[in-house]
Structure 1
Amino acid sequence: MKEKNSVEFTDIGRVIWRFRQHFILTAIVAGVLGLVVAFLLPVYYQSTATIYPAAISYVESTDLVYRRGNVNELGDTEQAEQILEMFSSQDFKNKIIGKAGLFEHYNIDPDGKEARFKIHQKYRELIQAERNRYNAVKISVQDREPAKAAEIVNLIIDELDRFRNQIISRRIRTHYRTIEKSKDSLQHAMAVWTDSLLTLQEQGVVSQEERAALLESLGNVRGNSAEIKRRIDANIRYGAQYDIVERHVESVQGQITTMNKIRTQLQTNLSPDASQQFIFEHGHVADKKHAPKRLYVVLGAIGFSLIVLLFYLYIRVNWLALRQRLES
């Protein structure tokens, strides 16, 4: 097997040496043609931007809804993937296509046949986004006009933030309505328990600490202590009930305080000025072309031409031997 391979490589070497002038001439011609093609290809400039998502996610529990994360913190992989999903959605693409005027810019008739297919194909070719290992989302736009590339990438940044804000706001409004209903229910319960507490207080019932002091004062009272005895009897009779009502009042008050904090938090995030991302790099107008790489075009043309020529000459020189191998 090794001898057979060595013979085949020797045959290839002989073909190359025998037709070396053809290979040299082909390389020169292919290089010139590749250079011509490289200069005829359209030149594209690239503008890039880098954003980080804000760490915002809303979690539902059995009693209330609260936010996990802080708008001032960088998001994790989940938030970065959410941005990429929004970027890839048809609704978002159509919004960018419309606002950037890409039908006209790419010379595609919006009423023509397969117009949507063509514009989205062009969009996928020239507008891309990816997540790096630090959970940053890098957006890149290629265009023949450097200013247009920067305009599109900055438009995408703004629209991504607005698009994500709209999606999150819809969910926040649902939570906000739930919070309002829960708060109304708690306030009604608070009014009922407070009325019960006031009724007991009017009868002279006091808290546990005050009750202990009242019982202690009974032995130190001189003269008429009927009022104190009445209050003590009321506390002995209704003291346990007072403690239960007081605990309910404190519990409901704590829940209302929590609801108010959540309500304030949701109102803040419903603000249209609340950003859902951190912009680390805006798109800038490029002063150097991104593609094509003319050297790669020339080298590719030369390499492809030499491989085709080698294949043709090897088949021509060794055709009889190859035919015998195939027939045997």
Structure 2
Amino acid sequence: MEKTETNNSGAQDLLIFLWAKRKVIIGISAVAFVIGIVVSLMMTVLYQSTAIVFPAATSTVSFSEQRNAKANAMDFGEEEQAEQLIQILQSSKIRNKIVERFNLMEVYEIDQDDPNRYFKLGKAYEQHIAFERTRYGSILIDVLDEQPERAANIANKIVDLIDTVKNDLIKERTIPAYEVNKRKLDKLNESQRELIAEMDSLAAMGVVGPEARANLFSALNESRPEDREFFRKQIEVNVKYGSRYDALADLREFRIEKLTDQEVSYEQAESDAYENFTHKFVVESAVPADKKAKPKRSIIVLLITFSAFVLTIFYLLVAEKIKELKKVA
């Protein structure tokens, strides 16, 4: 009971104190209110434009039935592809192209002779351009700028650069792979041509396949006397070179299969190396905003006014407490 009465008494004393100091509190809060209005009016107005994209699950044309069995170019990407795309969006390759294209050093008022210009540019870029993955798997590209048209143009240019930058990154690996595949295919074709040329030369000498070779002996027995010398020579040539011819024939069939596989690999490597694929689905392109995004002047004014109000009360209470302690001392 006594504790409740003490609390009520303390609350009453606080209210009495605040009422006594009301002019000071109201005066300082009013000044803070005016300062908040002035500060908010001095802040640069920024407009926001947003583009929305989905990453593609895969961005290649497959020449194999087994490759990319779980994904094709028409599928939306999942979390892994979204994270990869965000890394590309945050890369210096895109940032440098955007900075150069829109002259952001001048837009952000960064002195070209400033020794810390690149650090300041990076900070300003991060404050004006942001990338966020949504819970739906899409990626938001938000751009803030003083000019609504430029904000939209920057966002749309970033969307366009996704394919350019990712294709360049892919080509750094796929072009060497293509060149290796091309050398292998050329080597196999050359070996196959040499093999066929040797088989043709043996065939010109009269060497034939196993089935025709087996018929030479019956042909010799059934031939007329004037033809037997011809068949004897044919048999001698086939006895001497028949095994070589058979080995070459088997090797030719083996290489045909190998060439078929290598041609598929070559076509895949060529497609990956030299075709420009799209790596995203554009859900929404950025458009110029017709309403400012920052600053929120009413919020700024309220925060400054409320902060001044609270700090004034705190200061007055502390000052009053110090005065009481001095009297006691």
Q: When the two structures are superposed, what TM-score results if normalisation uses the length of structure 1?
A: 0.72
Moved more, 252-261 or 43-52: 252-261
Distance 1:158 1:253, change over 3 A: same
Q: 2:310 aligns with which of 307, 312, 319?
A: 307
Map Cα deviations across residues 158-181 of structure 1 (whole Å, 9 max, x no partner): 223211111111211011011112
Whole-Å separation in 2 of the counterparts to 1:197 and 1:79: 52
Structure 1 unaligned spans of 5+: 59-65, 216-222
Asked if the contact 2:59–2:73 (Cα under 8 Å) also holds between the matched residues in 1, the reply is no
Whole-Å separation in 2 of the counterparts to 1:203 and 1:174: 43
Q: 1:143 aligns with which of 142, 145, 152?
A: 145
Give the letter aligned to residue 263 of structure 1: Y
The total of aligned residue pairs comes to 300
Asked if the contact 1:56–1:67 (Cα under 8 Å) also holds between the matched residues in 2, the reply is no
Distance 1:133 1:11, change over 3 A: same
Provide the residue aligned with 1:41 in structure 2: 43
Q: When the two structures are superposed, what TM-score results if normalisation uses the length of structure 2?
A: 0.72
Whole-Å separation in 1 of the counterparts to 2:313 and 2:10: 11
Q: CA deviation at 1:126?
A: 0.6
Map Cα deviations across residues 38-57 of structure 1 (whole Å, 9 max, x no partner): 23322110011122333348
Provide the residue aligned with 1:172 in structure 2: 174
Map Cα deviations across residues 145-194 of structure 1 (whole Å, 9 max, x no partner): 10111111122222232111111112110110111122123334544665
Whole-Å separation in 2 of the counterparts to 1:73 and 1:132: 18
Q: 1:283 aligns with which of 276, 286, 291?
A: 286
Q: Which has the larger radius of gyration?
A: 2
Residue 33 (structure 2) pairs with residue 31 (structure 1): yes
Moved more, 255-264 or 19-28: 19-28
Asked if the contact 1:16–1:310 (Cα under 8 Å) also holds between the matched residues in 2, the reply is no
**Residue correspondence of structure 1 range 26-175 to structure 2 within 5 A:** 26-56=28-58, 68=68, 69-175=71-177
Whole-Å separation in 2 of the counterparts to 1:112 and 1:194: 70
Whole-Å separation in 1 of the counterparts to 2:8 and 2:270: 76
Identity of aligned residues (%): 28
Distance 1:268 1:9, change over 3 A: farther
Q: CA deviation at 1:123?
A: 1.0
SS of the residue aligned with 1:318? helix
Moved more, 302-311 or 140-149: 302-311
Whole-Å separation in 2 of the counterparts to 1:182 and 1:13: 93
Structure 2 unaligned spans of 5+: 61-65, 216-220
Give the letter aligned to residue 257 of structure 2: G
Distance 1:97 1:10, change over 3 A: farther
Distance 1:113 1:268, change over 3 A: same
SS of the residue aligned with 2:210? coil
Give the letter aligned to residue 268 of structure 2: Q
